[in-house]
Amino acid sequence: MAAKRQRTVDPGSSFYGTSPGSSFMYNPSPYGYVSQPPPPPPFPVVRLRGLPFDCTETDVAEFFHGLDIVDVLFVHKGGKFTGEGFCVLGYPLQVDFALQKNRQNMGRRYVEVFRSKRQEYYKAIANEVSDARGGSPRRVSRAKSYDEGKDSAEHTGVLRLRGLPFSARQTFWEAYVEFANAEDSKAAMSKDRMTLGSRYIELFPSSHSEMEDAISRGR
């Protein structure tokens, strides 16, 4: 079962705080234009390749010692660790420092560090949910009435994902995934309330209108 396409939702600016240039300022000009605020800073994430297969989140934090680690995500395929991962940092400027660790050793293996994007990171999270198999994830118990509410919801082929990341400093992130059909999205609900590594994942039946509305509001 594979997702048709993925749409992600920005969790906000909690990764890097308030931009000092976020306010509008009026600068008189002969043309009468009002200056626009600068674009938001880039999402501070790097992609890792060549990680040891027994690597832990603590190992990644030690590898990037001195940087603020917001989240660590290991990439799996068919339930097996691929040796790749993502690391979200506290501030955009820290990405350049993280890139200086490119081809340095973690244990006996050298690790490659690449620039990445917000969309690649969220897509990897959604793939982890879709790829979870057997006893790899662990289900967290909830009240029966909580499950019945989700079970009775109509499936439209869209799911909303919510998860608690590696760092307790950050609030919940959210993302939307659109599947090929309603049957695929309903089958994906078997991954609801599971933990992938240290990440707790909740899935909610959603709709195309809710997904588009959330994206338009920048949630």
Work out the pLDDT band at 41, boundaries 50, 70, 90. Answer: confident
Q: What is the pLDDT of residues 143-166, one digit of tens each?
A: 343 444 566 678 888 888 877 555
Higher per-residue confidence, 119 vs 31? 119
**Percent of the chain having pLDDT more than 90?**
28
pTM over 0.85: no
Q: What is the pLDDT of residues 90-135, one digit of tens each?
A: 889 999 999 999 999 999 999 999 999 988 988 887 788 776 543 3
Work out the pLDDT band at 50, boundaries 50, 70, 90. Answer: very high
Q: Does residue 164 contact residue 137 with C-beta atoms inside 8 Å?
A: no
Integer Cα distance of 219 and 207 in angstroms: 15
Q: Is the pLDDT of residue 176 over 70?
A: yes
Higher per-residue confidence, 31 vs 111? 111
Containing 6, the helix (H) or strand (E) segment is strand 3-8
Take residue 25 and report the two structure tokens written for it: 């300022």
Q: Is the pLDDT of residue 73 over 70?
A: yes
Integer Cα distance of 74 and 204 in angstroms: 23
Higher per-residue confidence, 132 vs 183? 183
Work out the pLDDT band at 139, boundaries 50, 70, 90. Answer: very low
Average pLDDT over residues 180-197: 78
The pLDDT, as a whole number, for residue 114 is: 98
Higher per-residue confidence, 98 vs 173? 98
The pLDDT, as a whole number, for residue 134 is: 39
Question: What is the CA angle 43-175-146, rounded to 5?
Answer: 140
CA distances from 5 to 9, 50, 178, 180, 214 (A): 14, 27, 5, 8, 16
CA distances from 172 to 17, 71, 76, 199 (A): 16, 12, 22, 11
The pLDDT, as a whole number, for residue 10 is: 46
Higher per-residue confidence, 13 vs 186? 186
